[in-house]
Structure 1
Amino acid sequence: MNVRQILPFLLLAVAPALAQTSDPAVLAGACQGCHGVAGQGSHGIPLIKDAHSRAEFVALLQAFRANQREATVMGRIARGYTDEQIALLAAHYARAQ
């Protein structure tokens, strides 16, 4: 079994623990496993750093959380975050305005 196959399941296992914090750097740790340390994406996984405005980033994660956007694991991961934590992630990853 390759790492890319088990990584989503590992992230799901740690998501509840990460969701208990309000430190954006810690919250972003769950994103880094797939999207890269700098949010650069790779191998079909999208870029998230500077790719969206804060409002777009929030709307995107809320859509994943509500199963309004098709995804492999993002819906399950996004359901682990509060609105406040999504806003913190948006501030961390969104492009400067």
Structure 2
Amino acid sequence: MRYTRLAAVALAVSLSGAAASQSALAEVTRGALMAKTCLACHGAAGTAPEATIPTLVHGFPRELMIQTMRGFRDGTRPSTVMGRHAKGYTDAEIELLADYFDGMR
């Protein structure tokens, strides 16, 4: 009987820790995770390191981001490296990025 109670308590503590971990992970969105790669070039500190690279961290309008990224991906917008980056994104992923950066305003 004593071992059963101990096992139940251990299981409850274990499950509460797992639930806390899950809720912490749920706070990080897929858009936020994908945006980390963008910030490597576009500037995590608030401004892009070079004047030719747009700053994204102060909010980039959602529709403009979607239009721009699709243009890079489809080759209708000229670029140096963005076309290669954008080719890897689906429409849904571009929208997640757009939501993330639009929400940073």
- TM-score category (smaller protein): 0.5 to 0.7
Contact 1:67–1:75 at 8 Å: present in 2 too? yes
Unaligned stretches of 5+ residues in structure 1? 1-21
- 8 Å CA contact 2:72–2:78 kept in 1: the answer is yes
Whole-Å separation in 1 of the counterparts to 2:46 and 2:87 = 20
Q: Which structure ranks higher in relative contact order (CA pairs < 8 Å, sequence separation ≥ 6)? A: 1
Larger radius of gyration: 2
Aligned to 1:59: 67
Give 1:35 shift: 0.4
Calculate percent identity across the aligned residue pairs: 37
CA 1:96 to 1:28, structure 2 compared with 1: closer, same or farther past 3 Å? closer
What stretches of structure 1 move > 6 A for 4+ residues in a row? Answer: none
1:91 shift after superposition: 0.7
Q: How many residues are matched?
A: 76
**Match for residue 33 of structure 1 among 28, 40, 62:** 40
Letter in 2 for 1:32: L
CA distance in 2, matches of 1:41, 1:95: 18
- Matching of residue 69 in structure 1 with residue 77 in structure 2: yes
Instruction: Report the TM-score, using the length of structure 1 for normalisation.
Output: 0.67
Give the alignment's TM-score, normalised by structure 2: 0.62
C-alpha RMSD of matched pairs (Å): 2.2
In structure 1, the residue matched to 2:50 is 43
